[in-house]
Chains A and B, each alone.
Chain A
Amino acid sequence: MSALVVADKLGCWYGQVVGLSELTLAIEGGITGLVGPNGAGKSTFLKLVAGELRPARGEIRVLGHAPFANREYFRRVGFCPQQEAIWGDMTGLEVVEFLMRLHGYAPPEARRRANAALDRVGLGDARTRRTAGYSKGMRQRTKIAQAIAHDPELVVADEPLNGLDPVGRAEIQKLFAELGAAGMHVLVSSHVLHEVEALTPSIVLFHRGRLLAQGSVGEIRRLLSRHPRRVELVARDARRLASALMALEPVSSVRIAPDGRVAVETGDVERFFRELTALAPRERAGIRSIESHDANLEAVFDYLVG
């Protein structure tokens, strides 16, 4: 089976700013998560996949098509962009119905599809309200509805969980899972790894416009766990704790900050926490708090790219 998305030395710039650089990858069908910190190139890649942008260099083919301004391709894809913008003077139903009319559906069919999609994203009750009065989460749902209403083969969703409350996130994650189970391909981006992890085991990591890693969540997690992480502890007896921590194998350095915090750098954070759990009652240093400061993806990616 040929890949869903094939990019070959793909490049895209915004003036002097690099959006994507020399990106070569192949993404198979099913649900795939694109993960990376803000500015990593996820949105640029998805805009290229959706046909909103044209590659400055290289080539991209999706479902066998060059996406930019390709009308035949647009029949087969649904795009939920990152920007919140949607026509505020129209109701949710009017927005989705109008966009379905642009797909060539007759008015009754366009309305039927719009209603069904809005029901599916949980916006049934608010469909006749103007979108200007919608919350961020409701606008997000409207964007998702317009992307799925024409039953595309591929749904491209850029940060679709932004602005949703925990219940909403769970609902939309469930919706994407259903779309995937129904045979639809889904490309979904997020800067939060665990959001994507809940959707799919297949992820692609982006950083500074380049492909960093691609594979299953398990593989990526193993890669991330080898990154030295900084953990800060507040304890009643900082000196005693620091000296005990020095003896632990996963700890590479210990420093006591002027405010009394104990800053630990470890190469294996999971093992460190296991050994800390055993050490704490033994040393009676009175640990009051533990913070892992650079557990965010930005720090991890910075480490991975050196």
Chain B
Amino acid sequence: MMSFLRTTLLFWRTYLPRICLARRTLLVALGCALVPLLAFVLLKFIPHGPSPIEAFLYPSFFIVLSVLVPLAAVISGSAVISEEVDDRTITYLLTRPISRASILVGRWLASATVLVVLLAGSVGALKVVVESQAPGWKKAEPRVVETTNRRGEKRTRTIDREIPAEFLQAMPDGELPDGLFGTMLAATLAGAAVYSALFAALGTFNRHPMIVGLGYAFAVEGFLANLPGTSQQLTVQFYLRSMLVSENPELWKLVAEAQLAEPDTTRAALFALTIILAASLALGSLVISRRQYVLSA
């Protein structure tokens, strides 16, 4: 056991700086930077755009949790083993006196560390942007616009946007409601860890984990997670969303009413996510311990 931990730590320490400098990490970092940038643009330059709380909730739910977390996890998680196989460097690792599972766990830990830092930075920056723009934000007055059609007839149109009272009253002092940021951050980081473990395990037995992972994250989960009924419980998304709505449920339900089945409690969701993570790593460890990797010269 000590030997396993020592080797896992060695893999983590060796691969962490290498993953930081990898091209796929730059790609994930760019994706993470886009979220707070989008919120800033919406709040600063779109007069009839979202309120500050909406600028936090909508990107959090529909971009960070539904797209960015699984996508970033596919990009970094699927590379954990398949990169070594594709580069044909796995031979050097598989012919060493170490537990093969430590290759998977150590490399996954390094990938997950980078992923968690980038996603936490993204959600943190989103909070900063929203809270910095909130004090000066005011709902724009309705604007009447006069237009002329092809026949020269003049028409007037009113540009306005109904914003629910809950949203308008959600940030009276310019700060996000209590618990909102914390649960969003926790759900994001849990999602990063679970999804990346899932895709890392996939890479131990599939030659194209990126393609299969994308298919799973956006086709299978995308379908099941938005299907009304208990089938949502088969997805990682369901448990992440359950974590979110445990705090400020009235706000989240306004954002994603159609997407939410009856959520689990936070404790149940965390338990389910822990099981999925542990099962993924156990399955991946079992596969890498027994499988032979046939490489071309």
Contact = CB atoms under 8 A, between A and B. Distances in A.
A binds B: yes
Interface of A: 14, 43, 50-54, 68-69, 71-72, 74-75, 77, 79, 81-83, 85-87, 89-90, 98-99, 101-104, 146
| A-B pairs with lowest CB-CB distance, top 8 | A85-B88, A102-B96, A74-B97, A71-B97, A83-B88, A75-B97, A82-B297, A81-B91
Interface string B66-104: 000000000000000000000111011111111110000
B11 to A, nearest CB: 9
A71 B21 contact: no
Contacts of A85: 87-89
A87 B97 contact: no
A147 B286 CA distance: 27
Nearest to A76: B97
Contacts, number: 66
Given A52-B91, A79-B91, A102-B93, A14 B10 contact: no
B88 A50 contact: no
Given A52-B91, A85-B88, A102 B98 contact: yes
B18 interface: yes
B297 A14 contact: no
Contacts of A89: 18, 21
Query: Interface extent on B, as a size class?
Result: 20 to 34
A53 B14 CA distance: 26
B292 interface: yes
B155 interface: no
B14 A52 contact: no
B92 A146 contact: yes
Contacts of A74: 95-97
Contacts of B87: 85, 87
Interface in B247-297: 289-290, 292-297
Contact of A86 (B14, B18, B89, B100): B89
Contacts of B18: 87, 89-90
Contact of A79 (B10, B95, B289, B296): B95
A43 B296 CA distance: 10
B7 interface: yes
Given A85-B87, A89-B18, A103 B294 contact: no
Contact of A104 (B21, B92, B97, B294): B97
B98 A68 contact: no
A18 to B, nearest CB: 14
Nearest to A100: B96
Contacts of A90: 18
Interface of B: 3, 7, 10, 14, 18, 21, 87-89, 91-100, 289-290, 292-297
A159 B115 CA distance: 40
Contact of A52 (B7, B21, B290, B292): B292
A51 B297 contact: no
30 contacts: A14-B294, A50-B95, A51-B95, A52-B91, A52-B293, A53-B292, A54-B292, A69-B94, A69-B289, A69-B290, A71-B97, A72-B97, A74-B95, A79-B91, A81-B92, A85-B88, A86-B89, A87-B87, A87-B89, A89-B18, A90-B18, A98-B10, A99-B92, A99-B96, A101-B10, A102-B7, A102-B10, A102-B97, A104-B3, A104-B97
Contacts of A101: 10, 14
A77 B89 contact: no
A99 B87 CA distance: 17
In this complex, which of A54, A71, A87, A102 has the most chain B Cβ atoms within 10 angstroms of its Cβ?
Answer: A102
Nearest to A55: B292
A75 B96 CA distance: 7
B91 A83 contact: yes
A28 to B, nearest CB: 23
Contacts of B295: 83
A293 B100 CA distance: 48
In this complex, which of B18, B289, B294 has the most chain A Cβ atoms within 10 angstroms of its Cβ?
Answer: B294
Contacts of B14: 98, 101
Nearest to B295: A83
A83 B86 CA distance: 12
Contacts of B292: 52-54, 68
B23 to A, nearest CB: 11
Contacts of B290: 69
A89 B21 CA distance: 9
Nearest to B11: A102
Nearest to B14: A98
A77 B96 CA distance: 9
Contacts of B96: 74, 99, 102-103
A51 B90 CA distance: 13
Contact of B94 (A52, A77, A98, A146): A52
Given A98-B14, A103-B96, 8 more contacts: A69-B100, A83-B88, A83-B295, A87-B18, A90-B18, A98-B10, A102-B93, A102-B97
B289 A53 contact: no
A109 to B, nearest CB: 14
B286 to A, nearest CB: 12
